[in-house]
Amino acid sequence: MTPYSPSELMAVNAARLLTDGKVVFVGVGLPNLACNLALRTHAPNLTLIYEAGVIGARPERLPLSIGDPTLVTGAAAVAGMYDIFALYLQRGLVDVGFLGGAQISRTGDINATVIGDYAGPRTRLPGSGGSMEIAAWAKQCFIITPHQKRRFPDKVDFQTSLGHGPARRALPGRGPQAVVTDLGILRPDASGELVLVALHPAATLEEAQANTGWPLQSAPDLAATAPPTADELALLRALDPDRIYLK
């Protein structure tokens, strides 16, 4: 078996969540890697939408930024930023939104805004970008983030985007349906609480629990993910030869 890094593990498992033919709103970094890997493996008919305004991108190289010129050349369509958010996302045309975030709460709220107090922040993060609306309006969302206790608090310091809870019922999207970490995969239970549903090879429930800021439950049918295949890894590494994301 080829050795692989935690970020490779996350990217491969995130790619596997994407079913062919879907319309995916792609975020920068690992989501971008995951979507491009899926496009090159089991999901050649994904429509990749980038918030910068590109629809049906076919990037020849992995873009560092989600506004890279390689996303435009050969794309199916380009639209302005208002249209991307209004006509595609708010209108309900996006099947899957891919998100990251500095903090993910027990019920899937995301914080991408500040650590500490908003008015006098300890750490100022970049802010919402598209997160607030993607989490609300994409039919479902996937989140990729390393499994660390500080990243999985019981409550977020700032609710940049909504996970599960009463306000979710009024929204068209079902919210975060999977969180892919370097230890496993979490999904919401019926109450909206994220529970561990799968462990990656070599990871343990105890390790996941120790790295989560609430008493992490595991699903009764806790699964094991298949290790990345040699094919998946080769394609992934070809996408990020300088290992900008595959740290």
Partner 1 sequence: MSKLSTLPAAIAAHVHDGDTLYLAGFTHLIPFAAAHEIIRQRRKDLTLARATPDIIYDQMAAAGCARKIIFSYMGNPGVGSLHVLRRLVESGALEWEEYSHFGMITRLAAAAAGLPFLPMRPTGASDLANVNPAYRRIPDPYGGEDVVVLPALHPDVAILHVQRADENGNAHLWGILGEQKEAAFAARRVILTAEEIVSEDVIRRDPNRTLIPGLVVSAVCHVPHAAHPSYAQGYYDRDNAFYLEWDALSQDEARLQEWLDQWVYALPDRAAYWDKLGPEVHARLTPSPRPSGEVDYGGYA
Q: Which is nearer to partner 1, 134 or 203 (CB)?
A: 134
Asked if 35 and 16 touch (Cβ cutoff 8 Å), the reply is no
Cβ of residue 54: shortest distance to partner 1, in angstroms? 7
Applying the rule CB under 8 A, the residues between 136 and 175 that interact with partner 1 are 136-137, 158-162, 165, 167-168, 170-171
Catalytic one of 51, 133, 193, 232: 51
Q: Does 104 bind partner 1 (CB under 8 A)?
A: no
How many Å apart are CA 110 and CA 128, to the nearest integer?
A: 9
Please confirm, yes or no, whether 51 is among the known catalytic residues: yes
Is residue 38 within 8 Å of 44, Cβ to Cβ?
A: no
Q: Which is nearer to partner 1, 88 or 208 (CB)?
A: 88
Among 11, 12, 48, 52, which residue sits at the site for partner 1 (rule: CB under 8 A)? 52
Contact between 192 and partner 1 (CB under 8 A)? no
Candidate list 29, 146, 153, 213; residue touching partner 1; CB under 8 A: 29
- Which listed range, 123-131, 139-147, 211-219, 222-230, lies at the site for partner 1 (CB under 8 A)? 123-131
Tell me the one-letter amino acid at 235.
Answer: L
Nearest-angstrom CA–CA distance, 37 and 175: 23
- Token pair for residue 206? 């105890």
Question: Which stretches of the chain are DSSP H helices?
Answer: 6-16, 30-40, 69-72, 81-83, 131-137, 205-210, 230-239
Please give the positions annotated as active site.
51
